[in-house]
């Protein structure tokens, strides 16, 4: 995430930028959301957050699905995926709704799980939680300032994007980095016995089989998402391909 501005260089072109105004774009300047609004950058975001998300699940793997410690991870995962599925360049309202939800739910999750963290890591966890909270408040503050600026000085003012184009991005990467580090530092143990569930092998097998359904449905439904080339589906040498279908940030 911290390397996104470097990847935005025109000689690399790995991330999305608005070349006519970069970095003084929009009301708040550049953002992680804008950088990852390309297929390659969205895929990179999925890749680098695989292990942080995995560790968040492993921390509560022994907890029953009906308890808030597990439910908050589920909600966080769903809305984090929606954050990546809804590009800010196409559906900004849904994108920001997903961002706000996974940010606050993730912070709340770590707050309620922190009491079960091993003693030697609790101080680091508290520091990271404070950093995440400050970052989230900073993002909100930037939005509020830009909105007030637009009301007082007109929609063409763009105070933050003109003078501090990377401030909003800085708050975002600090928050996301804190959340990623929290998943790695958090080591929960000593769960109350009433919250610990044991599963039979058959139950685990059915659960694992069930989670493959969305992936299968996704691949089967890709042709419904639309044309991938002129003359679709007779594209190039091989016709329509999976690579063509997923060449969009929301896929």
For the chain, give the percent of residues with pLDDT over 70: 78
94-111 average pLDDT score: 91
d(CA 61, CA 197): 9
* pLDDT category of residue 134 using cuts at 50, 70 and 90: very high
d(CA 127, CA 114): 12
pLDDT at 207: 67
36-57 average pLDDT score: 87
Q: Which residue has the higher pLDDT, 212 or 30?
A: 30
Q: What is the pLDDT of residues 161-180, one digit of tens each?
A: 888 888 999 999 999 999 99
Written as one string, the DSSP assignment of 156-197 is T--HHHHH-TTHHHHHHHHHHHHHHHHHHH--B----GGGB-
d(CA 108, CA 129): 9
> Is the pTM here over 0.75, yes or no?
yes
Mean pLDDT for the chain overall: 81
* Partners of 196 in the β-ladder: 63
């Amino acid at each position: 995430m911290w390397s996104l501005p470097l990847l935005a260089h025109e000689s690399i072109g790995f991330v999305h930028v608005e070349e006519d105004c970069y970095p003084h774009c929009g009301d708040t300047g550049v953002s992680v959301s804008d950088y990852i609004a390309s297929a390659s950058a969205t895929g990179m975001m999925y890749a680098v957050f695989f292990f942080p998300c995995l560790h968040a699940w492993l921390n509560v793997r022994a907890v029953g699905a009906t308890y808030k410690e597990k439910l908050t991870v589920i909600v966080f995962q769903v809305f984090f995926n929606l954050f990546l599925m809804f590009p800010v360049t196409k559906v900004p309202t849904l994108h920001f709704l997903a961002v706000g939800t996974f940010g606050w739910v993730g912070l709340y999750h770590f707050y309620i799980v922190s009491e079960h963290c091993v003693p030697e890591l609790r101080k680091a966890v508290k520091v990271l939680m404070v950093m995440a909270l400050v970052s989230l408040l900073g993002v909100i503050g930037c939005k509020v300032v830009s909105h007030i600026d637009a009301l007082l000085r007109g929609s063409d003012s763009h105070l933050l994007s003109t003078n501090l184009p990377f401030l909003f991005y800085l708050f975002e990467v600090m928050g996301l980095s804190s959340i990623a580090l929290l998943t790695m530092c958090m080591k929960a143990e000593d769960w109350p016995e009433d919250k610990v569930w044991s599963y039979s092998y058959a139950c685990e097998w059915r659960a694992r089989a069930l989670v493959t359904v969305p992936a299968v449905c996704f691949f089967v439904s890709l042709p419904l998402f639309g044309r991938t080339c002129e003359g679709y589906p007779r594209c190039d040498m091989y016709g329509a391909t999976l690579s063509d279908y997923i060449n969009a940030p929301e896929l």
